[in-house]
């Protein structure tokens, strides 16, 4: 998952960088660096993929 894809997912969920950072237990600056493709994005990308899957499951269950 690329930084761009992470940003698109975050936007789809209507989350701010601050919200995502809080959910992950990291700083907003770290989220910004990840979305720009800076160093240390790979572990967070895996976490975001899990969050995305959970969000999709939650959305499906609500329908």
How far is the C-alpha of 10 from the C-alpha of 2, rounded, in Å?
A: 12
Structural domain tally of the chain?
Answer: 1
Strand boundaries in 1-63, DSSP class E: none
- Least Cα distance to 18 among 9, 4, 30 occurs for 30
pLDDT in tens, 3-58: 888 899 889 888 899 998 888 888 999 889 888 887 665 567 777 777 778 778 77
CATH (domain of 13): 1.10.260
Residue 32's domain spans which residues? 3-62
The model's pTM is: 0.66
């Amino acid at each position: 998952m690329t930084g761009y894809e992470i940003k698109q997912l975050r936007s789809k969920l209507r989350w701010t960088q601050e919200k995502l950072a809080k959910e992950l237990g990291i700083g907003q600056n770290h989220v910004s660096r990840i979305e720009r493709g800076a160093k240390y994005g790979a572990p967070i990308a895996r976490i975001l993929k899990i969050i995305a899957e959970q969000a999709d499951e939650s959305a499906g269950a609500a329908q």
